[in-house]
Amino acid sequence: MDMQTSFLDRLFDAGLLIDTGVDGLYGRSGQFEDVIVAFERMIDRFGGADGAEAMRFPPGMNRTFFERSGYMKSFPQLAGTVHSFCGNELDHMSLLQCMEVGEDDWTKDQKATDIVLTPAACYPLYPTVAKRGRISLRGALFDLQSYCFRHEPSQDPARQQLFRMREFVCMGTEKHVTDFRQTWMDRGVQMMKEVGLDVAIDVANDPFFGRAGRMLANNQRDQNLKFELLIPITSVAKPTACMSFNYHQDAFGAKWELYLEDGSVAHTACVGFGLERIALALFHTHGLDVAEWPANVRKALWG
Ligand code: ATP
Ligand code: ZN
Ligand code: MG
């Protein structure tokens, strides 16, 4: 048994994660959720004075917006669509027949709905803000949290298929949004230090699909567009990204028609906290029994 399996098994044994029979799809115990709630309060403390506008979207988004985002160009392997039965009574009979016989795939006649599973908390935001009209020259700041879906089944407990991302998104001038990103990189390091986690920040890239994707990934790295805050969870040699800091230049602004008051295209940046990963880093570092965590860590989280 490798390290990853054993940490996952220990989490199951401790009841912190609940096995559903699907890799990367877990229930969470009250204790696990308490840690996430406490950490989110800490995020509120660090970012509270910024005056971000809070919005909460459900874990599904408008399929038209998803299509426009270009997600299927970059990450087709990760996407999840919502399909439903849309037939008549006769179709229903053959559906049940098909499920009973179990030879054919009963889902093959399901039809795509208007909803796609949200791949990152910020995706539903851009079209929402674009609809409002021009953005103040002082910039705009948003606070989001959503369950996100990515089809990346794994036995690494830190790689789940449905997980929560807390995000801040900034829109404005290049200077405005790159300052925002730097502020959160500094805060991220400070926050993790307060809860006793070992961190490193490194340049990163998104897993763009295919051969053309390799070039996009290299370009993203060369231009320092993505940074990650890494913490050991299942491996010390390959620590896990628990936060990411993304500068989109004016690419999202151009795609979604986000304009500043002076008519220029808005630059955007987003900062994401992987909430399950942060909880897992805490359990990995301080042990599975919260009562045994160092006093200063408990104090930082629960006051
Ligand atoms: P990785 O390189 O580990 O796949 P990522 O670059 O895909 O991470 P982002 O797309 O930047 O991650 O997502 C923002 C944050 O969401 C990440 O920093 C991470 O903490 C969290 N996250 C991403 N994918 C997962 C996942 N499959 N399970 C749990 N958390 C995740
Ligand atoms: Zn984002
Ligand atoms: Mg990924």
The per-residue pLDDT for range 95-145, each reduced to its tens digit, is 999 999 988 899 999 999 999 999 999 999 999 999 999 999 999 999 999
**Mean pLDDT computed over 247-267:** 98
Task: Give the model's pLDDT for residue 103.
Answer: 84
Nearest CA to ligand 1 atom 1: 241
Give the alpha-carbon dihedral of 149, 155, 158, 160, to 10 degrees.
Answer: 10
- What is the longest distance spanned by two Cα atoms in the chain? 64
Report the percent of the chain where pLDDT is more than 70. 98
Residue 46: closest CA among 178, 176, 189? 189
* Cα of 214 vs its chain's centroid, Å: 22
Quote the CA–CA distance of 229 and 195 in Å, as a whole number: 14
Task: Give the model's pLDDT for residue 295.
Answer: 98
Q: Is 284 in the pocket of ligand 1 (CB under 6 A)?
A: no
Report the percent of the chain where pLDDT is more than 90. 94
Cβ neighbours around 5 below 10 Å, total: 13
Lowest mean pLDDT among 171-180, 207-216, 264-273: 207-216
Task: Give the model's pLDDT for residue 56.
Answer: 98
Task: Give the model's pLDDT for residue 290.
Answer: 98
Shortest-distance ligand to the CA of residue 153:
1
**Could you report the predicted ipTM of this complex, rounded to two decimals?**
0.98
Token reading at 282: 């805490």
Residue 40: closest CA among 251, 284, 278? 278
Q: Is 160 in the pocket of ligand 1 (CB under 6 A)?
A: yes
**Mean pLDDT computed over 271-281:** 98
Task: Give the model's pLDDT for residue 5.
Answer: 57
Task: Give the model's pLDDT for residue 6.
Answer: 87
**Mean pLDDT computed over 74-90:** 97
pLDDT, tens digit, 9 for 90 and up, residues 28-48: 999 999 999 999 999 999 998
Amino acid at residue number 5? T
Residue 55 CA to ligand 3 centre (angstroms): 24
Mean pLDDT of the chain: 96
Quote the CA–CA distance of 270 and 119 in Å, as a whole number: 14
Nearest CA to ligand 1 atom 6: 206
**Mean pLDDT computed over 79-91:** 97
Q: Is 159 in the pocket of ligand 1 (CB under 6 A)?
A: yes
Residue 108 phi/psi, 5° resolution?
Answer: -70, -25
Residue 151 phi/psi, 5° resolution?
Answer: -80, 85
Q: Is 242 in the pocket of ligand 1 (CB under 6 A)?
A: yes
pLDDT category at 169 given cuts 50, 70, 90 is: very high
pLDDT category at 2 given cuts 50, 70, 90 is: low
Quote the CA–CA distance of 287 and 265 in Å, as a whole number: 48
Quote the CA–CA distance of 262 and 282 in Å, as a whole number: 45
Cβ neighbours around 208 below 10 Å, total: 18
Residue 164 CA to ligand 1 centre (angstroms): 10
Residue 274 CA to ligand 1 centre (angstroms): 6
Q: Is 164 in the pocket of ligand 1 (CB under 6 A)?
A: no
Angle between helices 275-286 and 30-47 (to 10 degrees): 110
